[in-house]
Amino acid sequence: MTIGIIGAMREEIVPLLALYKEYESMEIAGNVYYKIAYKGANIIVAYSKIGKVHAAISATTMILRFGCEKIIFSGVAGGLAKGLNVGDLLLATKLCQHDVDITAFGHAKGFIPEGKLFYESDKYLCDKAKEVAKDMNLSIKEGVVASGDQFIANQQIKDSIVKEFDAIAVEMEGASVACVCDNFKIPYCIFRSISDSADGEASQSFDEFLESSAKISAHFVYKLVDKISL
């Protein structure tokens, strides 16, 4: 089995590489991919760089170049729902693109013709993630995650995303990975750790909690790979 693991930033994959310790690296299309042999499985790790386009390139490369059969996106996100705190673990049940807007043509916000408004995560991988959370005695939240090429630090925008998509968190890559995987029929799971509250203090809290939140995600994904590679 070949499993792909993507983070958006270097800080999001460094803790994971530290857990695996041994890997080889290769550069493809301006990005570095790390190949790990682990318990009979091949694991491909990369940080895509920030944004939907970069994440889509990395997901496509993992599928077409490395033959990844499952893809996990691990990283941080801004919390939208009340009760979500920094460090909380989050599993995306569905993903959407909050910054897509062709409502002038009568389409729902976030929808692209011949595409989908919401992309649903793989049930098997999500169930395994919930098993890992139980094994680790961790609470994990579930819900809609909205992706867009914006760092949300404005209460008005935050409120509009919640109202439009019933989203509980916002980030900049997940829905594009979901779209790629859906088109290639590859099971995927988008897992996040909350780093900020997507409000007026978002930039400050993001910088402060990025490292600790990324470590939480990395440790969880390490355990998840153990679970699905058995």
Which is catalytic among the residues 12, 88, 122, 171?
Answer: 12
DSSP 118: -
pLDDT single digits (tens) 174-203: 999 999 999 999 999 998 888 765 554 545
pLDDT single digits (tens) 91-129: 999 999 999 999 999 999 999 999 999 999 999 999 999
The tokens describing 10, both together, are 């270097």
Distance, in Å, from the CA atom of 78 to the CA atom of 82, rounded to the nearest integer, reads 12
The three-class DSSP label of residue 90 is strand
Report the pLDDT value the prediction gives residue 107, as an integer from 0 to 100: 94
Q: Known catalytic residue: 12?
A: yes
pLDDT single digits (tens) 116-171: 999 999 999 999 999 999 988 888 899 999 999 888 777 888 889 989 999 999 99
The whole-model pTM stands at 0.88
| Residue 83 burial (10 A CB sphere; 0-12, 13-18, 19+) | exposed
Which is catalytic among the residues 88, 171, 182, 196?
Answer: 196
Q: Known catalytic residue: 196?
A: yes
| Residue 203 burial (10 A CB sphere; 0-12, 13-18, 19+) | exposed
The three-class DSSP label of residue 18 is helix
DSSP 122: P
The three-class DSSP label of residue 158 is helix
